[in-house]
Amino acid sequence: MRSLVTIGAIRNLLGPRNHPCRSMLGWVILACGLGSASDAIAETQVFDVEGYLAECTARVPSVPTHVPMDALCVSTSQRLCDIAYELRQTEACLLRVSAWLEGDLQTYADLTVPESINPPLMELPSPQELCITQRLPNVSQAVLCRYAEALADWNKRRVVFHIQRGLNPNEQWSLQ
């Protein structure tokens, strides 16, 4: 079984920065294939979806552009997971994102939707509509529907969360 060689490990093997053979030897070691990303995929969790989502969404400020910022956190986490698994685990990545969204909803369980919310902002595509119209290769409709439902519920609760942090609901900007 091969092990994944890191740049830091190579640097340690090669000695001081100014050593004349350092860069050439480093390229030789990498070219010889002492490590393989494909081998590492089977051995470890390649991308921390949950950690990425927690960190990314925690950094979204309550500003008028929070809707697309939140959306980018979710879509980027799914995409990075998919890329990390060389596009072979799309369904598993969607399941992980869905599970995180569902779990994070518990954080906002006690929030109520104020009447002052701009109605178009809350009119995101319905999960049922997405389930019927969207298809992804190698992803079951059940997984796609779970993701769409979790995302719609989470987006609405995030809007309420940002409003309760002081954002004027009528000054929000969305992707629509």
133-to-5, 125, 127 alpha-carbon distances in Å: 44, 11, 10
Amino acid at position 91, single letter? E
8-43: pLDDT as tens digits: 443 444 445 444 433 433 333 333 333 344 444 444
Indicate the pTM of the whole model: 0.67
Which stretch of DSSP H or E encloses residue 94? Answer: helix 90-105
Q: Confidence band (pLDDT; 50, 70, 90) for 142?
A: very high
Mean pLDDT, residues 165-174? 64
Q: Confidence band (pLDDT; 50, 70, 90) for 114?
A: low
- N-to-C CA span, the chain: 49
